[in-house]
A and B are shown apart, each in its own frame.
Chain A
Amino acid sequence: MSIIPRVTWFTEEDRKRVVAEAVEILEKIGVFVENDEAIELLSGAGARVDRDKGRVFIPASMVEKAVGSAPSRILVYNRHGEPVMDLGEDRIHFNPGSAALRIYDHKKKKTRTPMTADLVRFSALTDALPNYAAQSTGIVSGDVPEEIGDRYRVYIALQNSVKPVVTGTFLIDAFRVMHEMLATVAGDQGALAEKPMAIFDCCPSPPLKWSDLTCQALIDCARTGLPAELVSMPLTGATSPVTLSGAVVQHAAESLSGVVIHQLAKAGAPIIYGGSPACFDMRKGTTPMGAVETMMIDGAYAEIGKHLGLPTQAYMALSDSKRVDYQAGMESAMGAAVAALSGINNVSGPGMLDFESCQSLEKLVLDHEIAGMALRLTRGIAFRDDPIALPLIEAALEKKEFLSLPHTAKWYREEAYFPNAVIDRSTLEEWESKGGLDATARASERVEKLLSDHEPEPLDDAVRAHLTELMERDAKRYGMDKLPVT
C-alpha cells in the first residue's frame, strides 16, 4: 500500500479554532438573507430573525445539526447512469472552468464572443478527454438572448457529451427549466434525484449574504436532490479580511450558513463545500485565480471542509493570462498540483483564462495533461514488491539494463502517466523534423483531430426532440423563435 501524498495547512487545533469562530460569527453577526423561504425555514427552526434588516442569527446547535445531516460522500452520474464522480475523502476529479464570457480564438489570435458552435465544440472536446470526470457549462453563448444564456448552456451540453454537468443559474427562473432538461435526459425527476447528473453552483455574496437568486438555487437543489456546490468567494482586503486566515474564517461562516439553509430545506441532501476566493490584487483591483495565495486559501478551506466531513470543491487549475502562454501553464499547473495535494474532490478550472472570463479549447487540451499529471501525483509511490528492488538489480546485473526484464514490461504503464502529444518529449531532431511546433500550436492541431475523430454519443431522438421543445418554448418567451442551428 502507498500513502496518498497530502499537504496539511492547519493543526487540528487551528481547524477547530476556525470553525468555532465561524460559528460565533453566525451567532453574533448573523447572515443577511434576501430569500423569504429561507428566512421562514431558519426562523421555523429557531433562528432569531431581524426582519427589517433581513438578518438571521444562527445558533451553534443548528450548525452542528446541519453539518451532521449532510452526506460525506456524493456520487454523480453520467448519461448512462454510471457513477463517474465519487466525491469525498481525498478522491480528485477535474472538470473545465465555468461560465466564460469570451473565448480565445487561437486561429484568429484574438479573444471574441462565443457562439453556439463554440459551445458544441467545447462540450464535445470535454467528452473526448478522459481526465475530465465531468463537463461544465463553461461558455456563455452570444447568439441567444442573454436571458436564456444560463439554461441554453445546459441544453447544448446535454446533447454533446455523456458526462455530468457542473453548472449554475444566472436568473431565478432558470432552475426549473434546467431541472426539467436534466430530468428528460435522466428519464424522469425520480431517476434524476436517485442518480444526479449535475452539480449547481450557489454563491453567497461576501460578506455573509445570501441573495434571493443563489439562496433559491440552494433550496431548489435540496428539494430536487441535485448536489449544491457552495461557492463562497472572499476577496482578501476587498470583501473579506485581508489575511488569508481571516478569509478562511469568513469562507467557513458563509459556507456553514449555506449548509444550514440547505439542510433545513431537506436534511440529508447532497452539498459540496466549495469556493472561489481570491487574493484580491491591490495593484489592479482584479481577482487573480492564479495567485499562489488564492491557491493557499483554496487548500485551507478545503481542509476545513474535510474536517467537517463534507465533499470539497475549488476553482483551481486556471489562469489569469489572456493567452495560452507560459503564465497560463504555470498558474494552471501550480493550482492543479496544490488542489490535488490538498485532496480537493472537484477541481473546476481547466481551459479557463482571464479571471474566469475566457475559455480556450487549446488550453482545455493542454490542461487535460496537467490534470493527468496531478491525478498521477495523488496515486503516490507504490511498493509493488518485497523486497523492493534487490532481486531486480540482481537480475539485471548480467544484462546491464532493465528494459528487457518482464518486471519492467509488467509495471511501466502503471508507474508512469503518459501525456498525449501536446506534451513534447521527443528529441530536438524529431521535434524540428515535425515542424518545431510550440505547445499551443500542438494543442491546436490536437483540438481539430479530437473533434474530427470523436463522435459524442447522440441522445436518443425522442429525448433530443423533447429537450429542443423545452428550450424553444423558453427561447420564445424571450423573443427568439428559432434556435441557432447546432
Chain B
Amino acid sequence: MEKFLTECAQSIIDGNAEKSAELARMALDDKHPVLEVINKGFVKGIREVGRLWEEGAMFLPELVMGAEAMKEAMTVLQPVLEEDAAGKSAAGHVVIGTIEGDIHDIGKTLVATMLSANGFEITDLGADVPVVRFVDEAVEKGAGCIAISALLTTTMSGQKKVIEELESRSVRDKISVMVGGAPCNDDWAKEIGADGYAGNAVAAVQLAKRLTGA
C-alpha cells in the first residue's frame, strides 16, 4: 500500500495524466480506501508540486501538468467519493471569475486550475462576470467561497460590490471572499472587507484552505 501511494503521488509530480488515471482505476479495482488514496497519495503529490513551484524547482508548464494529472485522477475517483457521503467535496466549493468589465483571465484560470487540483470543487464563471452572478451562483451551488479576479483599476471596485451584494442578501457570513489580480493587495482586501488576498495561484490555494477550513 505504501508503495502504491508513493506511486500515486509521483504520477502527479511527473504530470503524467495517463498514469494517474490508471492508478486511480487500479485503486478502485483493488478496493483501496478511496479517501486514503486521495489524501495520502494524489494530494501529497499536488502539495509537493506546489512546493516545488514555490521553491523555483518546477516551472508553470509542470505545475499545470501536475494539476491536469490530478484532475484526471479525481475524475475517476469522484463518483465513488460522492456515494461515500463523508468524502463529498473534500475541500469545499469555490465560485471563481474575473469581475465585470474585465477580460483578463489568465491569472484567474491558473488560480482555478490550482484550486481544482487541490481538491476544491470549482465553478469557473469565466471573465467579465456581473456582480450579481457571483452571488447567484454561489448561493445556488451552496459554495462557501467566492474568488474574484480584477486586473484593472477601473474594475476592482466590482470586488467590493460583490461583498455588498452578499451583505444585502444576508449571506455574507456563510460565504467567504478572496480577491486577487495586479492592482489588488492586502490593504485593498482589508479596505473592502474581503477575507483575504493572494498574489499567486499557490498562495491562493493556501488562502482558500485557510478560509474554508479545508
A and B physically associate: yes
Asked if B110 and A147 sit within 8 Å, CB to CB, the answer is no
Please state if A101 and B103 are interface contacts (CB–CB under 8 Å): no
Q: A147 and B154 in contact (CB under 8 A), knowing A239-B106, A283-B59?
A: yes
What are 19 A-B contacts with C-beta separation under 8 Å?
A: A101-B153, A101-B182, A101-B183, A170-B153, A170-B154, A171-B154, A205-B103, A235-B106, A239-B106, A281-B60, A282-B60, A283-B56, A283-B59, A284-B200, A285-B107, A285-B110, A285-B200, A285-B201, A357-B182
Q: Does B8 contact A (CB under 8 A)?
A: no
* Least CB separation from A174: chain B residue: B154
Question: Is the CB of A196 closer than 8 A to any CB of chain B?
Answer: no
Chain B residues, CB < 8 A from A280: 60
A140 near B60: Cβ-Cβ < 8 Å: no
Q: Are B154 and A150 in contact, with the CB atoms below 8 A?
A: yes
Chain A 275-321 interface residues, beta-carbon cutoff 8 Å to B:
280-285
Is the CB–CB distance between B153 and A146 below 8 Å?
yes
A309 to B61, alpha carbons, bound, how many Å? 37
Q: Does B80 contact A (CB under 8 A)?
A: no
What residues of chain B lie closer than 8 Å to A205, measured between beta carbons? Answer: 103
Check if B106 sits within 8 Å of A238, measured CB to CB: yes
Q: What residues of chain B lie closer than 8 Å to A184, measured between beta carbons?
A: none
Per-residue interface assignment for chain A, residues 141 to 168, with 1 indicating a CB less than 8 Å from any chain B CB and 0 otherwise: 0100011011000000000000000000
- Do most interface residues of chain A lie in helix, strand or loop, or is the interface mixed? loop
Instruction: State whether A282 touches B59 (Cβ < 8 A).
Output: yes
* B130 on interface, CB distance cutoff 8 Å: no
B154 and A282 contact, CB distance less than 8 A: no
What's the Cα separation between A235 and B107 when bound, in Å? 12
From B106, B107, B154, A149 is in contact (CB under 8 Å) with: B154
- Whether a CB of chain A sits under 8 angstroms from the CB of B156 is yes
Beyond contacts A101-B183, A170-B154: 10 other A-B pairs, Cβ-Cβ < 8 A, are A146-B154, A147-B154, A171-B101, A211-B103, A235-B106, A237-B60, A238-B106, A281-B60, A282-B60, A285-B60
Nearest B-chain residue to A211, judged by Cβ: B103
Nearest 9 A-B pairs (CB), nearest first? A282-B59, A170-B154, A282-B60, A146-B154, A101-B183, A283-B59, A140-B153, A146-B153, A146-B157
Cβ contacts B144-186/A at 8 Å (1 or 0 each): 0000000011111100000000000000000000000011000
Looking at B56, B101, B156, which has the most chain A CB atoms within 10 Å of its CB?
A: B101
- Which A residues are in CB contact (< 8 Å) with B183? 101
- How many Å lie between the Cα of A156 and that of B59 in the bound state? 42
Measured in the bound complex, the distance between the Cα atoms of B103 and A283 in whole Å is: 23
Residues of B contacting A142 with CB < 8 Å?
153
A224-267 vs B, CB cutoff 8 Å, 1 = contact: the mask equals 00000000000101110000000000000000000000000000
Shortest CB distance B83–A (Å): 37
Would you call A237 and B157 a contact (CB within 8 A)? no
Q: What B residues does A285 contact at CB under 8 A?
A: 60, 107, 110, 200-201
Question: How many angstroms from the CA of A142 to the CA of B188 in the assembled complex?
Answer: 12
Which of B101, B154, B157 has the most chain A CB atoms inside 10 A of its CB? Answer: B154
What residues of A have a CB within 8 angstroms of the CB of B106 in the complex?
A: 235, 238-239
Q: Give the size range of A's interface with the partner.
A: 20 to 34
Within 8 A of B (CB), among A67-102: 101
**Whole-angstrom distance from the CB of B81 to the nearest CB of chain A?**
30
Q: How far is the CA of A57 from the CA of B132 in the complex (A)?
A: 35
Determine how close the nearest CB of chain A comes to the CB of B182; give it in whole angstroms. 6
Q: Is the CB of B110 within 8 A of A170?
A: no
Looking across the interface, which residue of chain B has its beta carbon closest to that of A101? B183
CB distance from B158 to the nearest CB of A (A): 9
Complex interface: chain B residues within 8 A of A211 (CB): 103
CA distance A108 to B154 in the complex (A): 27
Cβ–Cβ < 8 Å partners of B107 in chain A: 285
A241 to chain B, nearest CB (A): 13
Complex-state Cα separation, A437 to B120, whole angstroms = 53
The interface residues of chain B lying within 8 Å CB-to-CB of A281 are: 60
A280 and B63 alpha carbons, distance in the complex (Å)? 15
* A146 and B182 contacting across the interface, CB-CB below 8 Å: no
**Residues of chain B from 43 to 70 with CB closer than 8 A to chain A in the complex:** 56, 59-61
Cα distance, A284 to B154, chains bound together (Å)? 25
A284 cross-chain contacts in B, Cβ below 8 A: 200
B residues near A170, Cβ cutoff 8 Å: 152-154
Instruction: With CB as the reference atom, state the residue of chain A lying closest to B183.
Output: A101
A284→B152 CA distance, assembly (Å) = 20
A237 to B64, CA, bound (A): 12
Chain B residues in 8 Å Cβ range of A283: 56, 59-60
Select from chain A the residue with minimum beta-carbon distance to B57.
A283
Q: Which residues of A contact B182 (CB under 8 A)?
A: 101, 357
Residue in A146, A171, A239 whose beta carbon sits within 8 Å of that of B156 in the complex: A146
- Residues of chain A contacted by B156 (CB below 8 angstroms): 146
Q: Mark A6-39, 1 if CB is under 8 A from B, else 0.
A: 0000000000000000000000000000000000
Q: Smallest Cβ distance from B209 to chain A, in angstroms?
A: 20
User: Which single residue of chain A is at the shortest CB-CB distance from B187?
Assistant: A113
User: B58's closest neighbor in chain A, by CB?
Assistant: A283
Among residues of B, the one whose C-beta sits closest to the C-beta of A141 is B153
Nearest B residue to A242, CB-CB: B61
**Bound Cα distance A285, B114 (Å):** 13
Cβ–Cβ < 8 Å partners of A171 in chain B: 101, 154
Give chain B residues whose Cβ lies under 8 Å from the Cβ of A237: 60-61
Q: Which residues of the partner chain A approach B153 to less than 8 Å between Cβ atoms?
A: 101, 140, 142, 146, 149, 170
Q: Which residue of A lies closest to B200 (CB)?
A: A285
A residues near B154, Cβ cutoff 8 Å: 146-147, 149-150, 170-171
- Enumerate A153-205 residues with CB–CB distance to B below 8 Å: 170-171, 205
Q: How far is the CA of A238 from the CA of B162 in the complex (A)?
A: 29
Report the minimal beta-carbon distance from B101 to chain A, rounded to whole angstroms.
7
Q: Please, what's the 1-or-0 string for B179-206, where 1 marks a CB less than 8 Å from any CB in chain A?
A: 0001100000000000000001100000
Bound together, the chains give a CA A149 to CA B200 distance in angstroms of: 26
Q: How far is the CA of A208 from the CA of B161 in the complex (A)?
A: 31
Chain B residues contacting A150 (CB-CB under 8 Å) are 154
Complex-state Cα separation, A135 to B109, whole angstroms = 35
- Which B residues are in CB contact (< 8 Å) with A140? 153
A282–B57 alpha-carbon span in the complex (Å): 11
CB closest residue in chain A, given B152: A170
A-chain residues with CB within 8 Å of residue B103 when the two chains form the complex: 205, 211
* Chain B minimum-CB-distance residue to A283: B59
B200 cross-chain contacts in A, Cβ below 8 A: 284-285
Least distance between A367 CB and chain B CB atoms (Å): 22
